[in-house]
Amino acid sequence: MSTTKIRPSFHDNNEISFLWTPGEKLVELVDMPPEGLSFAVRNNGPIEYSKECGDYKPISWLPQYLNVGALRLPSVAASNVNLDDLAKKVRGFIHRYFDCSPLFESVAVLYVLHTWVYEQFQAVPYLRFLGLPGSGKTRGTEVIGALCYRPLVMAGSTTPAPMFRMIEAIGGTLLIDEADFAQSQIGSEIIKVLNCGYQRDMPTTRMEKNDKGEFVPRVYSLFGPKIINGRRLFKDAATESRCLLYTPHLTGRDDISVQLPPEFNREVKEIQNLALGWRMANLDTFKVSQTGLSGLRGRAQQIVIPLLSIANAMSSVEGEKYQADLVEFCKKLEQQAQADRRDTVEGQLVSAFVSWDSNVLPTCKDLCESVRQASDDPNDIRWLTPKRTSSLLRGMGFQTRHTNHGSEVSIGASQLQSLCQRFGLTVSTVSDGSDDRERVERKEGDAWATV
């Protein structure tokens, strides 16, 4: 039996923005001139347009967001849309208004298109622009975000309360500009939105007053694509791991307008109309595909599946090109991420363990002192003590054992290999000619890993 998915207004359950019964009915919002906010309804037949759908009406407070450009909607759903042709239009539009590498252009096209069927995925990535003021990160957010499904613009200074409600009521793609979160309380709440919102069936709960003035739990669904820009990396590595990161540059192209021209909005509407037509024809039947994941690991595999699925839905020639560009882009991201992780205290501890040159196992104190001595500025890690070293090591899978000369550190071969891959380190083969080392290996099992 099909399950109906609906997005009601947080003010009135008879006002909705979306209704979908897979295989039967799909109701989408459009902004039709001169009628204004209306429904596009596909119900086992041609698409029809109406101001109402049964007992449901469009959300009454949405026009104010449409009027100021904080939300964009198509005007109609085009018919007979070919995915390859749609991808070419999206790519041409991005190239006209945003200066980026051809590799990232491919990623941006796939990102835009996946937002139009994002409900079919278990997890989606975030697109992340990082750079100094004037580097083009806001332009990238504007241009690519405008073509996404239901782009909703919010500034980084937005408080969490409306963000929770807007995401749930509208869905679609959240665009956050200058997401550096100077106010820590607001920042921590929005980080929760980002950490929960990349995966379906991972709602967040807030305590809110009901009509009686009583505080009761309220569950919010935050799942959906997001485009974020800012000047600094997030402090939470988990948030960054959900992002496809790109650092734009100041353009040297004379053909790109400093300000977006009037035809920008017309072209956006045209492409959105095509994308909505493709969505309404394919949302029910779109297949998630994992073809092309070889060479990617861990979180990268999970978040890249939606974009790979779009590439695999294209014709073979176009799809293979987009797939190759996406995998190359992600491999470069992983190499940079490895370098960043290697410079963390955790990475330095693993490196110190791997490079330990002795016939006895290192202790937490040994590794702590090794990291502190190798630091360019020991004062930066003066908080690192043998006790904290032990806690960090155990959190990564190491084992510690108290002895009369300190807490010895060991780890299994497969676990060490996994950590070395994560931090981009290499483990040298253990020499079979070392009697002392062999004795330690017999005593500790696979504490000294050979990889």
Closest to 225 measured CA to CA, from 330, 108, 60, 139: 108
List the domain range (segments joined by +) for residue 211.
69-286
Structure tokens at 326: 């996406």
Distance CA 319, CA 247 (A): 25
**Arithmetic mean of pLDDT, 297-317:** 89
Instruction: Choose the weakest-confidence range: 219-223, 319-323, 409-413.
Output: 219-223
Residue 343 is predicted with a pLDDT of 84
Residue 427 is predicted with a pLDDT of 64
By CB neighbour count within 10 A (0-12 exposed, 13-18 middle, 19+ buried), where does 403 fall?
A: exposed
Residues 156 and 247 grouped into a single domain? yes
Query: Any idea which residue has 């991972």 for tokens?
Result: 202
Residue 437 is predicted with a pLDDT of 34
In a domain, 321, yes or no: no
Q: Which residues contact 336 (CB under 8 A, 6 or more apart)?
A: 245
Q: Model-level pTM?
A: 0.84
In a domain, 15, yes or no: no
Strand partners, 30: 38
Asked if residue 350 has pLDDT above 80, the reply is yes
Residue 310 is predicted with a pLDDT of 98
In a domain, 16, yes or no: no
Contacts 24+ apart (CB under 8 A), 27-32: 27/53, 27/56, 28/77, 28/276, 28/279, 28/280, 29/58, 29/59, 29/62, 29/73, 29/150, 30/73, 30/74, 30/75, 30/76, 30/77, 30/276, 31/66, 31/73, 31/74, 31/75, 32/75, 32/76
Residues 186 and 273 grouped into a single domain? yes
Residue 292 is predicted with a pLDDT of 82
When pLDDT is cut at 50, 70 and 90, the band that residue 187 belongs to is: low
In a domain, 217, yes or no: yes
Give how far Cα 326 sits from Cα of 18, 237, 301, Å: 31, 22, 12
**Arithmetic mean of pLDDT, 130-151:** 93
Residue 428 is predicted with a pLDDT of 54
Residue 444 is predicted with a pLDDT of 38
DSSP 8-state assignment for residue 120:
G
User: What are the b/e assignments for 138-175, b being 16+ CB within 10 Å?
Assistant: bbbbbbbbbbbbbbbbbebebebeebbebbbbbbbbbb
Higher confidence at residue 132 or residue 95?
Answer: 95
Residues 209 and 78 grouped into a single domain? yes
**Arithmetic mean of pLDDT, 194-214:** 85
429-446: pLDDT as tens digits: 433 333 333 323 323 334
Closest to 235 measured CA to CA, from 205, 204, 190, 200: 190
Residue 188 is predicted with a pLDDT of 66
**Arithmetic mean of pLDDT, 28-53:** 94
Distance CA 183, CA 217 (A): 25
Q: What percent of the chain has pLDDT over 90?
A: 59
**Arithmetic mean of pLDDT, 164-185:** 78
Closest to 313 measured CA to CA, from 268, 281, 267, 272: 281
In a domain, 14, yes or no: no
Higher confidence at residue 57 or residue 220?
Answer: 57
Closest to 438 measured CA to CA, from 372, 359, 361: 359
Residues 280 and 200 grouped into a single domain? yes
Residues 100 and 193 grouped into a single domain? yes
**Arithmetic mean of pLDDT, 297-324:** 91
Residue 148: give its domain's CATH number: 3.40.50.300
Question: How many separate domains does the chain show?
Answer: 2
Answer for the pair 248, 130: CB distance below 8 angstroms, yes or no. Answer: no
Of 286, 318, 352, the position where a domain reaches its end is 286
In a domain, 219, yes or no: yes
Asked if residue 98 has pLDDT above 80, the reply is yes
238-263: pLDDT as tens digits: 778 889 999 998 888 999 999 999 99
List the beta strands (DSSP E) in 344-411.
399-403, 406-410
In a domain, 351, yes or no: yes
Residues 268 and 370 grouped into a single domain? no
Higher confidence at residue 190 or residue 117?
Answer: 117
Structure tokens at 110: 């796939």
**Arithmetic mean of pLDDT, 303-316:** 95
Residues 205 and 348 grouped into a single domain? no
In a domain, 3, yes or no: no
Q: Which residues contact 229 (CB under 8 A, 6 or more apart)?
A: 128, 129, 130, 131, 137, 138, 140, 141, 176, 177, 178, 179
Answer for the pair 400, 408: CB distance below 8 angstroms, yes or no. Answer: yes
Structure tokens at 64: 């104010």
Please state, rounded to an integer, the average pLDDT across all residues of the chain. 87
Residues 208 and 80 grouped into a single domain? yes
Instruction: Choose the weakest-confidence range: 135-139, 248-252, 297-301, 335-339.
Output: 297-301
Distance CA 310, CA 195 (A): 24
**Arithmetic mean of pLDDT, 379-389:** 87
Asked if residue 86 has pLDDT above 70, the reply is yes
When pLDDT is cut at 50, 70 and 90, the band that residue 202 belongs to is: confident
Q: Which amino acid is at 139?
A: R
Residues 214 and 129 grouped into a single domain? yes
Of 286, 314, 330, the position where a domain reaches its end is 286
Phi, psi of 95 (to 5 degrees): -65, -35
Asked if residue 387 has pLDDT above 50, the reply is yes
Residue 435 is predicted with a pLDDT of 36
Residue 412: give its domain's CATH number: 1.10.10
When pLDDT is cut at 50, 70 and 90, the band that residue 157 belongs to is: low
Residues 126 and 257 grouped into a single domain? yes
**Arithmetic mean of pLDDT, 140-145:** 97
Residue 423 is predicted with a pLDDT of 85
Instruction: Return the axis-axis angle of helices 160-170 and 184-197, rounded to nearest 10°.
Output: 20
When pLDDT is cut at 50, 70 and 90, the band that residue 1 belongs to is: very low
Scanning 56-205, the segments in alpha helix (DSSP H) are 63-67, 83-97, 102-115, 137-146, 160-170, 184-197
Asked if residue 377 has pLDDT above 90, the reply is no
Residues 268 and 378 grouped into a single domain? no
Of 242, 259, 286, the position where a domain reaches its end is 286
Give how far Cα 307 sits from Cα of 107, 304, 312, Å: 8, 6, 9
Give how far Cα 101 sits from Cα of 95, 126, 149, 247, 256, Å: 9, 19, 23, 10, 15
Residues 271 and 388 grouped into a single domain? no
Distance CA 239, CA 226 (A): 12
Distance CA 347, CA 362 (A): 16
